[in-house]
Amino acid sequence: MPASLDNAAASLLARYKAVRNATATLCRPLSPEDMMVQSCPEASPVKWHLAHTSWFFETFVLSEFLAGYTPFHPDFRWLFNSYYNSLGEMPEKKLRSSFSRPPLDLILSYRASVDAGIERLLQHTVEDEAARRIALGIEHEQQHQELIATDVKHALFTNPLHPPYIEDASPAQGTTIAPPLEWIDFSPGLTEIGLTPDPNAIDCFAFDNETPRHPVYIAPYRLASRLVTCAEYLAFLDQNGYNRPELWLSEGWTAIRSEGWQAPLYWQRDSETKSGWSIYTLHGLIPLEDLSETPVCHLSFFEADAYARWTGYRLPTEFEWEYAAREAAPGARSNLLDTGSLHPTPAGHLSGLQQIFGDVWEWTASPYTGYPGYAPLPGALGEYNGKFMSSQMVLRGGSCVTPASHIRATYRNFFSPATRWQFSGLRLAR
Ligand SMILES: [Fe+2]
């Protein structure tokens, strides 16, 4: 076999191990009890994430490509299936918190066994399809790393003690003041959006929903140089923003009324702070005044849209966002999971476009649909992205809990517009 292909298998294995280890690192501050909590319908227990990410490699890679592979446990194929209907039945999502059995030790053995299987498979050159699926499994695991962080945050917040996930580093802004908002001009005209990955370059990964690359006409627009801050959002609250129906989409108004929302998720009234508010973070509760220059987060699309309307501006489309971001790359200044801050941080004093990658996912005005010519992956993996292309909005740019090697300018995240448990915020456009 050609040496270059062996190198490809070796580099895929190195990437696999690094990402699997990163999941273990994320779980280190958690107790087995922490890993059992499922505190809202969107979230899953950490223990389930640990099993399900292994299930993905077992189901889509080992069972199909490792000769003589015997599944780790006969029940795991359906027990840890998330939503792949073509593979058969699965437990209801809300039951995941009842999985006290199988015990955590067995889940950890499952992970180790799957790791050994992937290592065995990658001792030799693998067929292209197996390599593509391992690469997909790696990206899938990184998506679940982000979910572990956001689900743990919700679980610990729901605990009446509001315990921190980690106590050491504080995300407080210090003396940093966010720079004044500048408007950056773009006049693109006809441009290309999306990515068509080179099938020969295994390092060039894209999800099917980022493809195919296609022409889009974009009218001249202006984009805010940085994200909206907590102080700016507090002004919206103080101006009675949550009680002015003219600012809200109909569904948004219904949502804030029925849910009783008067502030972003994790904002709590607190008479002992100067601002009258505290914000729950992965580092515990922090007075709002200590986070006022940091980007506002945990907003639904409806809140982001209402805020933009209140300012007289709007949310960018996903195409405007991508056009602006294409020259940028996740860099040393991007506040992604790898920085360890676990909370958005203030923009620096640089001029030009800032905070494009990391800090918060940016809600866009674009509905999540397939690009012209979009085709889901063949087989059960076609259920990965395509079947969610209704009633969801696109978010761009990654957050402070997105792994740095996972994000890129063409990446499309998507959630239903009332979703708030992700690190989601906004950037204005006009
Ligand atoms: Fe998944």
- Per residue in 343-399, pLDDT (tens digit) is 999 998 777 899 999 999 999 999 999 999 999 999 999 999 999 999 999 999 999
Residue 169 has pLDDT above 80, yes or no: no
Residue 270 is part of a domain; what is its CATH number? 3.90.1580.10
* Ligand 1: centre distance to CA 273 (Å): 40
Residue range 125-147: mean pLDDT, rounded = 96
Residue 118 is part of a domain; what is its CATH number? 1.20.120
* Ligand 1: centre distance to CA 325 (Å): 27
* pLDDT for the residue numbered 113: 98
Strand partners, 286: 279
* Ligand 1: centre distance to CA 128 (Å): 22
* One domain, residues 14 and 140: yes
* Ligand 1: centre distance to CA 7 (Å): 28
* Ligand 1: centre distance to CA 223 (Å): 33
What distance lies between CA 373 and its chain's CA centroid? 25
Q: How confident is the model at residue 132 (pLDDT cuts 50, 70, 90)?
A: very high
| Number of folded domains that form the chain | 2
* Ligand 1: centre distance to CA 78 (Å): 13
Residue range 73-97: mean pLDDT, rounded = 95
* Ligand 1: centre distance to CA 312 (Å): 38
- Average pLDDT score, the chain: 94
Residue 2 has pLDDT above 60, yes or no: no
Q: How confident is the model at residue 160 (pLDDT cuts 50, 70, 90)?
A: very high
Q: How confident is the model at residue 3 (pLDDT cuts 50, 70, 90)?
A: very low
* One domain, residues 153 and 197: no
* One domain, residues 292 and 238: yes
* One domain, residues 88 and 222: no
* Ligand 1: centre distance to CA 116 (Å): 21
Nearest to 33 by CA among 109, 103, 91, 120: 103
In the block, tokens 């006290």 appear at 100
* Ligand 1: centre distance to CA 191 (Å): 33
* Ligand 1: centre distance to CA 140 (Å): 6
CB atoms within 10 A of CB 401: 25
Rounded to an integer, what distance in angstroms lies between the CA atom of residue 42 and that of residue 64?
A: 30
* One domain, residues 377 and 259: yes
* One domain, residues 125 and 202: no
Residue 18 has pLDDT above 70, yes or no: yes
* One domain, residues 33 and 115: yes
* Ligand 1: centre distance to CA 136 (Å): 11
* One domain, residues 115 and 200: no
* One domain, residues 284 and 389: yes
Q: Are 179 and 349 in contact (CB under 8 A)?
A: yes
Is position 169 within any domain? no
H-assigned helices in 28-79: 46-57, 63-65, 76-79
* Ligand 1: centre distance to CA 144 (Å): 7
Torsion of CA 12, 14, 17, 21, to 10 degrees: -130
Residue 133 is encoded by which pair of tokens?
């699926």
Rounded to an integer, what distance in angstroms lies between the CA atom of residue 175 and that of residue 253?
A: 36
pTM metric for this prediction: 0.96
Of 106, 125, 158, which residue is a domain's last?
A: 158
* Ligand 1: centre distance to CA 124 (Å): 27
* Ligand 1: centre distance to CA 111 (Å): 15
Q: How confident is the model at residue 200 (pLDDT cuts 50, 70, 90)?
A: low
* pLDDT above 90 coverage of the chain, percent: 89
* Ligand 1: centre distance to CA 163 (Å): 27
* pLDDT for the residue numbered 1: 43
Is position 280 within any domain? yes
- Helix (H) or strand (E) run with residue 256 in it: helix 250-259
* Ligand 1: centre distance to CA 311 (Å): 37
* Ligand 1: centre distance to CA 384 (Å): 8
Domain hosting 71: range is: 5-158
* Ligand 1: centre distance to CA 81 (Å): 8
* One domain, residues 375 and 333: yes
Burial class of residue 377 in the structure, from the number of CB atoms within 10 Å of its CB (0-12 exposed, 13-18 middle, 19+ buried):
middle
Q: How confident is the model at residue 327 (pLDDT cuts 50, 70, 90)?
A: confident
Q: How confident is the model at residue 198 (pLDDT cuts 50, 70, 90)?
A: confident
- Helix (H) or strand (E) run with residue 25 in it: helix 3-27
* Ligand 1: centre distance to CA 55 (Å): 9
Strand, coil or helix: what is 415?
A: strand
Strand partners, 277: 269
Is position 285 within any domain? yes
Residue 330 has pLDDT above 80, yes or no: no
Residue 126 has pLDDT above 50, yes or no: yes
* Ligand 1: centre distance to CA 420 (Å): 19
* Ligand 1: centre distance to CA 9 (Å): 24
Is position 171 within any domain? no
* pLDDT for the residue numbered 400: 97
Cis peptide bond prior to 102, omega within 30° of 0: yes
Burial class of residue 184 in the structure, from the number of CB atoms within 10 Å of its CB (0-12 exposed, 13-18 middle, 19+ buried):
middle
- For the stretch 254-305, pLDDT in tens is 999 999 999 999 999 999 999 999 999 999 999 999 999 999 999 999 999 9
* pLDDT for the residue numbered 54: 98
* Ligand 1: centre distance to CA 348 (Å): 35
* One domain, residues 259 and 128: no
- For the stretch 230-260, pLDDT in tens is 999 999 999 999 999 999 999 999 999 999 9
* One domain, residues 150 and 199: no
Residue 173 has pLDDT above 80, yes or no: no
* pLDDT for the residue numbered 344: 97
